[in-house]
Amino acid sequence: MSAPLAYDGTYLKSISGILKICCMVCCFLGFLCIVCSSVQLRNFRGSFYCAIAMLAFVCSGCMMLARLFQVWQRKFLTFNAIKYELIMHVLLACLCFIAGCVSISLDVIAYTIATFFIFLAFSFYTFDAYLCYRIYRQCDAQTQTQTQPQIA
C-alpha cells in the first residue's frame, strides 16, 4: 500500500522552482511567437523551434510536478533525482541553444523575439543545472569515506 502524494508548496518559492516556472513561461512565449508569426510553420526553423520549445515545456512541467508532489521521495526510493535533473537541464540547455541559433537565422521580428525567449530559457536552464551540480557534488562529498592506510 502506497502513501498518498504529499504537496510541497514551498518548492514553488525556492530558487529551483522559480527557475522552472521561468523556463516554462519563456518556452511557451517563444512558442507563441513562432506560431503567430507571418512565416508558415511548415519551414524547418519554425518546426524545429516549436518542437524543442514544447519538449522543454513538457519536461520542465513534469520535473516540477514530480518535485511538487514529492514523487521521487515516495515512489522511487533509490532514484537519484538530483543527478536526473542535472542531466535533463544540461540536455535542455543544449537543445534550447541549438533552437535559438537555428531560429535567429531567419530575419523575421517574431523569430527574433522567440530567439530572445529561448536564449533566456537557456540561461535559466544553465543556472539551474549549475545549482543541481553543486547539490550533487555536495551530496557526493558527504557520502564519501576515507579509508585509513593499512599499517603492515
Inside any domain, residue 2: no
Q: What is the mean pLDDT of residues 110-131?
A: 96
Better pLDDT: 143 or 120: 120
Has this prediction a pTM greater than 0.75? yes
Residue 18 lies in a domain: yes
Work out how many domains the chain is built from and give that number: 1
Residue 151: pLDDT band with limits 50, 70, 90: low
The pLDDT, as a whole number, for residue 52 is 97
pLDDT score, position 53: 96
Q: Is residue 1 part of a domain?
A: no
pLDDT tier, 147 (very low <50, low <70, confident <90, very high otherwise):
low
Q: Which DSSP string corresponds to 36-72? A: TSSS-TTSHHHHHHHHHHHHHHHHHHHHHHHHHTTHH
